[in-house]
Amino acid sequence: MNFLNLSSQIKSINLIPQIGVLSTIQQVRNAQLWPDWRMKKDVRKRIATSEYAPLKLRINALRKNDILPPEIREIADKDIQALPNDAVGIKIVPRCAITSRPRGIVYRWRLSRIVFRHLADYNKLSGIQRAKW
Protein backbone atom coordinates (compact mmCIF):
# COMPACT_ATOMS: atom_id res chain seq x y z
CA MET A 1 0.00 0.00 0.00
CA ASN A 2 2.76 2.42 0.85
CA PHE A 3 4.38 1.86 -2.51
CA LEU A 4 1.17 2.70 -4.38
CA ASN A 5 0.67 5.81 -2.31
CA LEU A 6 4.27 6.92 -2.97
CA SER A 7 3.95 6.39 -6.72
CA SER A 8 0.79 8.50 -6.85
CA GLN A 9 2.57 11.30 -5.00
CA ILE A 10 5.46 11.17 -7.45
CA LYS A 11 3.02 11.41 -10.35
CA SER A 12 1.35 14.42 -8.78
CA ILE A 13 4.75 16.10 -8.32
CA ASN A 14 5.54 15.58 -12.00
CA LEU A 15 2.27 17.28 -12.96
CA ILE A 16 3.10 20.54 -11.16
CA PRO A 17 4.85 22.22 -14.14
CA GLN A 18 1.92 21.28 -16.38
CA ILE A 19 -0.56 23.00 -14.07
CA GLY A 20 1.15 26.35 -14.57
CA VAL A 21 3.02 27.05 -11.34
CA LEU A 22 6.18 28.00 -13.20
CA SER A 23 4.37 30.39 -15.50
CA THR A 24 2.88 32.13 -12.45
CA ILE A 25 6.34 32.59 -10.96
CA GLN A 26 7.59 33.97 -14.23
CA GLN A 27 4.71 36.46 -14.44
CA VAL A 28 5.52 37.81 -10.99
CA ARG A 29 9.13 38.32 -12.02
CA ASN A 30 8.13 40.18 -15.16
CA ALA A 31 6.01 42.57 -13.11
CA GLN A 32 9.13 43.72 -11.23
CA LEU A 33 11.54 43.68 -14.17
CA TRP A 34 11.15 47.30 -15.32
CA PRO A 35 11.67 50.41 -13.18
CA ASP A 36 8.56 52.13 -14.55
CA TRP A 37 5.91 51.91 -17.24
CA ARG A 38 7.94 54.01 -19.71
CA MET A 39 10.70 51.44 -19.81
CA LYS A 40 8.22 48.61 -20.30
CA LYS A 41 6.62 50.54 -23.16
CA ASP A 42 10.01 51.19 -24.75
CA VAL A 43 10.92 47.50 -24.54
CA ARG A 44 7.61 46.61 -26.17
CA LYS A 45 8.43 49.01 -29.03
CA ARG A 46 11.90 47.51 -29.42
CA ILE A 47 10.48 44.00 -29.66
CA ALA A 48 7.88 45.08 -32.24
CA THR A 49 10.51 46.93 -34.27
CA SER A 50 12.83 43.94 -34.40
CA GLU A 51 9.93 41.62 -35.21
CA TYR A 52 8.65 43.67 -38.15
CA ALA A 53 12.04 44.91 -39.44
CA PRO A 54 12.54 42.28 -42.20
CA LEU A 55 8.97 42.69 -43.47
CA LYS A 56 9.22 46.47 -43.38
CA LEU A 57 12.51 46.37 -45.29
CA ARG A 58 10.98 44.28 -48.08
CA ILE A 59 7.85 46.42 -48.33
CA ASN A 60 9.90 49.62 -48.45
CA ALA A 61 12.00 48.13 -51.24
CA LEU A 62 8.78 47.60 -53.22
CA ARG A 63 7.55 51.10 -52.43
CA LYS A 64 10.73 52.80 -53.63
CA ASN A 65 11.23 50.69 -56.76
CA ASP A 66 10.51 52.90 -59.78
CA ILE A 67 10.32 49.99 -62.21
CA LEU A 68 7.21 48.45 -60.63
CA PRO A 69 3.75 49.63 -61.69
CA PRO A 70 2.05 52.21 -59.45
CA GLU A 71 -0.68 49.75 -58.43
CA ILE A 72 1.83 47.46 -56.72
CA ARG A 73 3.52 50.42 -55.07
CA GLU A 74 0.15 51.61 -53.72
CA ILE A 75 -0.51 48.14 -52.30
CA ALA A 76 2.90 48.31 -50.61
CA ASP A 77 1.96 51.72 -49.16
CA LYS A 78 -1.21 50.24 -47.69
CA ASP A 79 0.79 47.32 -46.25
CA ILE A 80 3.17 49.73 -44.51
CA GLN A 81 0.23 51.66 -43.06
CA ALA A 82 -1.26 48.38 -41.80
CA LEU A 83 1.80 47.68 -39.64
CA PRO A 84 1.44 48.55 -35.93
CA ASN A 85 2.63 51.96 -34.79
CA ASP A 86 5.10 50.38 -32.39
CA ALA A 87 7.01 48.94 -35.37
CA VAL A 88 8.29 52.42 -36.26
CA GLY A 89 11.97 52.63 -35.33
CA ILE A 90 11.94 56.34 -34.57
CA LYS A 91 9.73 55.82 -31.51
CA ILE A 92 12.49 53.95 -29.65
CA VAL A 93 14.06 56.08 -26.92
CA PRO A 94 17.39 55.08 -25.37
CA ARG A 95 16.83 54.82 -21.60
CA CYS A 96 18.90 54.14 -18.52
CA ALA A 97 18.70 50.44 -17.63
CA ILE A 98 18.42 51.22 -13.91
CA THR A 99 16.31 54.38 -13.60
CA SER A 100 14.64 54.56 -17.04
CA ARG A 101 15.82 58.17 -17.45
CA PRO A 102 15.58 59.15 -21.15
CA ARG A 103 18.22 61.89 -21.25
CA GLY A 104 21.93 62.03 -20.62
CA ILE A 105 22.61 58.41 -21.52
CA VAL A 106 26.12 56.96 -21.70
CA TYR A 107 25.34 54.65 -24.62
CA ARG A 108 28.14 52.15 -24.10
CA TRP A 109 26.87 51.21 -20.65
CA ARG A 110 23.17 52.03 -21.12
CA LEU A 111 23.23 54.19 -17.99
CA SER A 112 22.27 57.78 -17.36
CA ARG A 113 25.10 60.17 -16.56
CA ILE A 114 23.94 60.41 -12.95
CA VAL A 115 23.90 56.66 -12.33
CA PHE A 116 27.14 56.23 -14.30
CA ARG A 117 28.92 58.81 -12.15
CA HIS A 118 27.56 57.30 -8.94
CA LEU A 119 28.66 53.78 -9.87
CA ALA A 120 32.06 55.03 -11.08
CA ASP A 121 32.60 56.85 -7.76
CA TYR A 122 32.13 53.65 -5.79
CA ASN A 123 34.14 51.48 -8.20
CA LYS A 124 31.13 49.44 -9.31
CA LEU A 125 31.90 49.62 -13.04
CA SER A 126 34.62 47.34 -14.37
CA GLY A 127 37.46 49.25 -16.02
CA ILE A 128 36.10 52.71 -15.17
CA GLN A 129 38.15 55.08 -13.07
CA ARG A 130 37.09 58.55 -12.02
CA ALA A 131 39.15 61.28 -13.67
CA LYS A 132 41.67 62.85 -11.29
CA TRP A 133 44.05 65.70 -11.97
Same domain, 22 and 4: yes
Kindly report the CATH number assigned to the domain that includes residue 61.
Answer: 1.10.287.1480
* pLDDT tens-digit series, residues 74-130: 999 999 999 999 988 888 889 998 999 999 999 999 999 999 999 998 888 888 887
Same domain, 10 and 27: yes
Residue 107 is part of which domain span?
A: 94-133
Residue 5 is predicted with a pLDDT of 53
Same domain, 58 and 78: yes
Same domain, 48 and 78: yes
pTM (2 d.p.)? 0.64
Average pLDDT over residues 10-21: 48
Same domain, 65 and 45: yes
The pLDDT of residue 6 is above 70: no
Same domain, 41 and 85: yes
| Cα angle: 61, vertex 87, 76; to 5 degrees | 35
Confidence of residue 10 (pLDDT cuts 50, 70, 90): very low
Same domain, 24 and 54: no
Residue 65's φ and ψ, nearest 5 degrees, are -85, 115
Q: How many domains are there within the chain?
A: 3
- 4: amino acid identity, one letter: L
Please tell me the distance from the alpha carbon of residue 49 to that of residue 39, in angstroms, as a whole number: 15
Tell me which DSSP letter residue 69 carries: -
Helices (H), 20-108: 21-31, 37-63, 70-82
* pLDDT tens-digit series, residues 16-74: 444 444 444 445 555 567 888 898 899 899 999 999 999 999 999 999 999 999 999 99
Same domain, 50 and 16: no
